[in-house]
Structure 1
Amino acid sequence: MQLQPHIIIPNLINAFNKGDFLLVINTVKQNAAIARVDAVVPQLYGSAMRKIGRLDDAAKIFEKGLKLFPQSSDLMNSYGNLFLDKGQSHKAILWFTKALKVKPGAFDYKYNLARAFLVSKRYKDAEMQCHDLLERDPTKSTVLLLIASILIENKRDAEAERYLKKLLETEPKNVKALNNLGNVKRRNNQFNEAILLYKKALSTGQSTAELFQNLAAAFALNGLLDEAFATYKEGLTTFPHSVGLHKEYAHLAWVQNVDAPFALLEKNLSLDKPDLILAYTELMIRVEEFDKAKVWLEKLVEAKLPSYQIAAAALLSNTLRELGDFDRALATVSVNASKPTVETLPLLIEKSYALLSLKRYKEAVKALELVCRIAPFNQGYWTLLSTAYKACGNEQKYSELCNYQKFVEVTPLFESEGCNLSFIDALEAHLNTLHNDERHPIGQSLRNGSQTFENLLEAEHDLIKALKIAIEDRATSFLSALSSQKKHPFLSRLHPDVNFIGSWSVRLRKKGFHKSHYHSEGWLSGVLYVDVPSEVEQNGNGWLVFGRPDITGVTMVEDFAIKPKKGNLVLFPSYMWHGTNPILTDEQRLTVAFDIVPANESQG
């Protein structure tokens, strides 16, 4: 049959614009020769694969298309978007830049390049691209929103606010601008203003699930829990399949000890809503309801939905391992983990866990060394590799990663003892006002305690500002005494300046403790002791312990322990296993914890 490109190609464009990505894919498969006729065909075909989550297939299509049409700037641009989806922003930047060389000044390409710079945290470069675009069109809403996002990420809230207000002058009902301005207000603890902005956005009649989420969160942070729950429920009535709304409602209901916190989510579960199944099973794993997770994950794996096979298999393997079925956990991921890519990495990680649980330590070392080569910045993978080295008895390699004498720093927050204790006393009084939850958060390491929400060290409070400066001074002083070492996950990234990427306060109550854990997104982690129970003088109660893994089937004693002392700061690499022994009395254990990354990796 003769090809009819003048009919097929317009149909492909129409189907793609309508979101019928499977029609695009099937049409091209049935008319394979059409991909050689026009660059728009591999562009649409690859983009359709990207939209349904088949990223590796999309990459192959774009690569073939670029061999056939090496000067197609639109193909280059689409390939760049694929790399953004894969979290490889450096490659996205390369392809957007190539597209701009073919078609200099193309608005969409420059906009996408700015997005890629933002993801890479190259804020100056991202901002420069936006300024170029705004010179051409000063009121372009998408660019005003993007530059505001760049400034927010770079903690320049006042400037971001000006751009958002500029946009709202011409588009007073722009929902994204109202939402993002609300987020700025919320981050600066201006909860009443944030609430008004979210309500105004909802009043436009263009409601989104994200708006309901943000309004409910602002109510909760403002202590208006009844309003928060009502907003979540209203949002779920309008958007019953919203993963974000379900997860946030469940988290709030859980920490407030509400009966049946997962009931709303469970009511909406079905195989035609796989995203909800993944959200539900992740929650069940985190609250250790493994049998409930197993039921739905087995159904999802059996359904063989292309976009969900990897995630479902990885979660099922996790669940089986936690239930003690190590052989089946390994079998669930082994086949597809044999040829690892960035996309199949979750399977290889679960395979490594299962190998550790089965005490097949040498195989675990081999798998985890590969994982760390694929994703060297994820600290959790180095944690697992250190565990495998320790299990194999490779003391040299274990010590290279976990040299506790060298890499763990204990120091007073302030040198003057009197200044230190008076500051800590004031900080304690403030932090106690922030702990209002009934139960520990879902998926966190603490048990029998509470944890603050939002980013504590970003708060506009004089004590918190002073705390942030003091911690940063201590961290940079500690780091300056270390020497750089190539290929080392901690020492290879040394930098004179640092940025905080997360911070929170934890209050442990009777029988409270932290399970052993690590901080996969961090680089340098730390804890400040604000209030310490007297029982730390007895039997190691409440002590911070290192090197004791929390992996089902793996039992190892700790290698190093620190007795908490009020006003002391402890710093250590984020990949080290760390947890605490329980406290047994009614006295509280109050801390501030945080994660830090090198400044050159977190901003441009």
Structure 2
Amino acid sequence: MTAGKKGFEETWLEKGDALYDQYQYEEALEAYRRVRAVDPGYLHAVNRMGTILSLMDRDEEALACFTTVLELGSENPLLADTALNNMAAILRKHGRFDEAFTAYDRALDLEPKNVMALCNKGNLFSDLGRDEEALAMYERALEIEPENAALLVNKAYALTGLNHLEEALGVIDRALELDPGNIVALNNRGNVLSELSRDEEAILMFERALENDPERVASMVNKGISLSKLGRHEEALAAFDRA
């Protein structure tokens, strides 16, 4: 940061943040550009520009911003970590999986206990059907944050993919102890119960998920499938129609 410019930069950064919170993305970008016009090395502004550009589906421009942060901000591990995770998310979105893995690995080189990078790398493995590797990432993350309900849900999903259904059920139950209203956990518990042919119990899980999110299509469809398996076809059709 250039000496003597701190007040101007922070003023415009705060304006940009306020505009971002109001979803006025173009105006927020202009505020951050004003910061960079005075100090091109003010990388917090560059990183926030990348975030906004990504939200606007201007992904190549976003990647350019995050690349700038990484090139100029290697001495700031927290900023570099954020840029790497954001970059990897964009690359994953566009199916550029090898590049996404490289970004996550760089983030983990900077900080081996980076829970976000471990989780997101696990999610990428899961996207590719590589459930053993996904499970390993989630378990590494859980060693650091053992009471992270979202990580437990992801671990259970990987176990389900590996057909370790009873173990998956136990992991989901732990997630629900920590976060009883976790809709993904409720829905996934229903799916595992259905896989175990325990569809009456599965329906109760889907209904609990729908109590928390009445518009959740996946839970409506899953409830319909379980009802159909039980021969309750009229109720199943009603669930499908609702979806």
Aligned to 1:209: 216
Aligned to 1:7: 11
**TM-score (normalizing by structure 1):** 0.35
Aligned to 1:77: 85
Aligned to 2:181: 173
Tell me how far 1:83 sits from its aligned partner: 1.2
SS in 2 for 1:138: coil
Aligned counterparts, 1:446-461, within 5 A: none
Compare relative contact order (CA 8 Å, sep 6+) and give the higher one, 1 or 2.
1
Tell me how far 1:179 sits from its aligned partner: 0.8
Tell me how far 1:222 sits from its aligned partner: 4.2
Q: Which amino acid aligns with 2:149?
A: S
Higher Cα Rg, which structure: 1
Structure 2 CA distance for aligned equivalents of residues 174 and 103 of structure 1:
29
Whether the 8 Å CA contact 2:115–2:141 is kept in 1: the answer is yes
Q: 1:170 and 1:76, CA in 2 relative to 1: closer, same or farther beyond 3 A? A: closer
Structure 1 CA distance for aligned equivalents of residues 54 and 92 of structure 2:
11
Report whether the alignment pairs 1:58 with 2:78. Answer: no
Q: Which runs of 5+ in 2 are unaligned?
A: none
Q: 1:63 and 1:228, CA in 2 relative to 1: closer, same or farther beyond 3 A? A: same
Report whether the alignment pairs 1:40 with 2:48. Answer: no
Aligned counterparts, 1:397-546, within 5 A: none
Provide, for residues 530-589 of structure 1, a one-character-per-residue CA deviation record: whole Å limited to 9, x for no partner: xxxxxxxxxxxxxxxxxxxxxxxxxxxxxxxxxxxxxxxxxxxxxxxxxxxxxxxxxxxx
Tell me how far 1:233 sits from its aligned partner: 5.2
Aligned to 1:359: none
Aligned to 1:153: 161
Report whether the alignment pairs 1:122 with 2:130. Answer: yes
Q: Which runs of 5+ in 1 are unaligned?
A: 235-244, 246-604
Q: 1:229 and 1:138, CA in 2 relative to 1: closer, same or farther beyond 3 A? A: same
Aligned to 1:257: none
Structure 2 CA distance for aligned equivalents of residues 178 and 125 of structure 1:
24
Provide, for residues 13-47 of structure 1, a one-character-per-residue CA deviation record: whole Å limited to 9, x for no partner: 45556655444334435655278343332222222
Tell me how far 1:82 sits from its aligned partner: 1.3
The alignment covers a number of residue pairs equal to 233
Provide, for residues 388-412 of structure 1, a one-character-per-residue CA deviation record: whole Å limited to 9, x for no partner: xxxxxxxxxxxxxxxxxxxxxxxxx
Report whether the alignment pairs 1:111 with 2:115. Answer: no
Structure 2 CA distance for aligned equivalents of residues 214 and 27 of structure 1:
46
Aligned counterparts, 1:188-207, within 5 A: 188-203=196-211, 205-207=212-214
Tell me how far 1:230 sits from its aligned partner: 3.3
Q: 1:106 and 1:179, CA in 2 relative to 1: closer, same or farther beyond 3 A? A: same
Q: 1:136 and 1:31, CA in 2 relative to 1: closer, same or farther beyond 3 A? A: closer
Report whether the alignment pairs 1:136 with 2:140. Answer: no
The Cα RMSD (Å) is 2.9
Structure 2 CA distance for aligned equivalents of residues 169 and 73 of structure 1:
31
Aligned to 2:104: 96
Whether the 8 Å CA contact 2:19–2:27 is kept in 1: the answer is yes
Q: 1:8 and 1:104, CA in 2 relative to 1: closer, same or farther beyond 3 A? A: farther
Whether the 8 Å CA contact 2:13–2:35 is kept in 1: the answer is no
Q: Percent identity?
A: 20
Structure 2 CA distance for aligned equivalents of residues 186 and 108 of structure 1:
30
SS in 2 for 1:172: coil
**TM-score (normalizing by structure 2):** 0.79
Whether the 8 Å CA contact 2:227–2:236 is kept in 1: the answer is yes
Provide, for residues 249-287 of structure 1, a one-character-per-residue CA deviation record: whole Å limited to 9, x for no partner: xxxxxxxxxxxxxxxxxxxxxxxxxxxxxxxxxxxxxxx
Q: 1:33 and 1:199, CA in 2 relative to 1: closer, same or farther beyond 3 A? A: same
Tell me how far 1:147 sits from its aligned partner: 0.8
Structure 2 CA distance for aligned equivalents of residues 34 and 121 of structure 1:
47
Tell me how far 1:213 sits from its aligned partner: 3.5
Superposition misfits of 4+ residues, deviation over 6 angstroms? none
SS in 2 for 1:104: coil
Structure 2 CA distance for aligned equivalents of residues 23 and 224 of structure 1:
54
| The structure with more strand, counted as a fraction of residues | 1
